[in-house]
Amino acid sequence: MKPLLAVLACLLTAACAKEQPAPSDTARTQASPAPAVANASVRADSLKTLMFLGTSLTAGLGLEPEDAYPMLIQAKIDSARLPYRVVNAGVSGATSSGLLRSLDWLLQQRLDVVVVETGANDGLRGVPVETMRSNLQQIITRIRESQPGATIALVQMEALPNMGKPYTERFHATFPELVRQNRGVVLIPFLLDGVAGERELNQGDGVHPNERGERIVAENVWRALKPLLR
């Protein structure tokens, strides 16, 4: 990986520093309200549900709701005539602990595919990797128990280098290790690959993708997600 994380180190205070309340209190979960034209032949009540769980990077902080990568994925789904509706359950500032606390509320509906993007804010706060790992394992376990038929995709995230090499290496290794240890869980490569550290692809805070960057993020996710939806 290029030294993209070093570029962001000076911007920690701008990056989702404050964790927001659980979705049951304040967050809007954004969903495609109806099948797009490409899916017009599919009854709305027959669509499967793809939920994105995550942080401000999933919520699309600083962007219009339709420009967040989960909604760009919805457009790709419709173009491919796949029978899925997307629910964006990203929450700005959420840590893995916050996601774990809100999970029961989020799992009340039937889900067919769940994408889990969390850990970036854990790294920003220096949360012990073992704590994050435990939270991620509990998240995977709860999804499995609540939605036994759902496919789970875990998004690779990275920690900034100011935490030190041992921390960043343990942080990086956590995601593929969890995928290996949990049968049926799929790893999505680093969310911000090709975007992090690129000034022209990020908003003024240097952390959150702008519209151009978000399209690249959507492509990163789509390449790994498309085979699962088929």
Q: Active-site residue among 67, 134, 193, 205?
A: 205
Find residue 30's DSSP bridge partners: 88
Task: Let me know if 172 is a catalytic residue.
Answer: no
Q: What is the dihedral of CA 111, 113, 119, 120, to 10 degrees?
A: -110
Q: Active-site residue among 96, 97, 102, 208?
A: 208
Tokens 């796949």 locate to: 82
Q: Are strands 113-116 and 151-155 parallel, antiparallel or unpaired?
A: parallel
For residue 224 the two structure tokens come to: 């790994």
Task: Let me know if 41 is a catalytic residue.
Answer: no
Task: Let me know if 208 is a catalytic residue.
Answer: yes
Q: How many CA atoms lie within 13 A of 121 on its CB side?
A: 25
Q: What is the dihedral of CA 91, 96, 102, 104, to 10 degrees?
A: 130
Q: Active-site residue among 32, 56, 96, 97?
A: 56
Q: Are strands 84-90 and 30-31 parallel, antiparallel or unpaired?
A: antiparallel
Q: Which residues are marked as active site?
A: 56, 205, 208
